[in-house]
Amino acid sequence: MKQHDAIHAQAVQGQSPPLWRLLQGTAAAVQAMRQGRSLTAQLDTVPAELRPGVQALSFQVLRQLGRATALRQLLASKTPPPAVDALLCSALALCWNDELALYPIHTLVNQAVEAARQQRTTQAQSGFVNACLRRFMREREALVQSTDADPQAQWNHPRWWVERLQADHPLHWQTLLSLAQTPAPMTLRVNTRHHSVAAYQNQLTALGVSSKAVGAQGLQLSKALPVNQLPGFAAGHVSVQDAAAQLAAPLLMQEMDTQKAWRILDACAAPGGKTGHLLELYPQAHVLALDVDASRCERIHQNLQRLGLQAQVKAADAGQPAAWWDGQLLDAILLDAPCTASGIVRRHPDVRWLRRPTDSGQLAQTQAMLLKALWPLLKPGGRLLYCTCSVFKAEGDETVQAFLQRNTDAQLRPSPGHLIPGQAPASLPVDHNPMGEHDGFYYALLEKRRG
- Give this prediction's pTM: 0.92
Tens-binned pLDDT, residue by residue, of the chain (451 aa): 344 444 443 433 446 899 999 999 999 999 999 999 999 999 999 999 999 999 999 999 999 999 999 999 999 989 999 999 999 999 999 999 999 999 999 999 999 999 999 999 999 999 999 999 999 999 999 999 999 999 999 999 999 999 999 999 999 999 999 999 999 999 999 999 999 999 999 999 999 999 999 999 999 999 999 999 999 999 999 999 999 999 999 999 998 999 999 999 999 999 999 999 999 999 999 999 999 999 999 999 999 999 999 999 999 999 999 999 999 999 999 999 999 999 999 999 999 999 999 999 999 999 999 999 999 999 999 999 999 999 999 999 999 999 999 999 999 999 999 999 877 666 666 666 678 889 999 999 999 999 7
- pLDDT at site 434: 73
User: Three-state DSSP class for 214?
Assistant: strand
User: Three-state DSSP class for 370?
Assistant: helix
- pLDDT at site 427: 64
Q: Is-contact 363 330, C-beta < 8 A?
A: no
Q: Is-contact 407 427, C-beta < 8 A?
A: no
Residues 413-434 as b or e (16 or more Cβ within 10 Å = b): eebbbbbbbebebeebebebee
Amino acid at 67: R
Beta-bridge mates of residue 447? 383, 411
Q: In terms of DSSP bridges, do strands 238-240 and 286-291 run parallel, antiparallel, or are they unpaired?
A: unpaired
Structural domains in the chain, sorted by start: 3-149 (1.10.940.10), 188-240 (3.30.70.1170), 245-448 (3.40.50.150)
Residues 285-320 as b or e (16 or more Cβ within 10 Å = b): bbbbbbbeeeeebbbbeebbebbebebebbbbebbe
Q: Can 297 be counted among the known catalytic residues?
A: no
Secondary structure of 108-163 as H, E, C letters: HHHHHHHHHHCCHHHHCCHHHHHHHHHHHHHHHHHHHHHHCCCHHHHHCCCHHHHH
Task: Catalytic residue, from 89, 297, 387, 389: name it.
Answer: 389
CA atoms of 418 and 132, how far apart (whole Å): 44
CA atoms of 446 and 68, how far apart (whole Å): 44
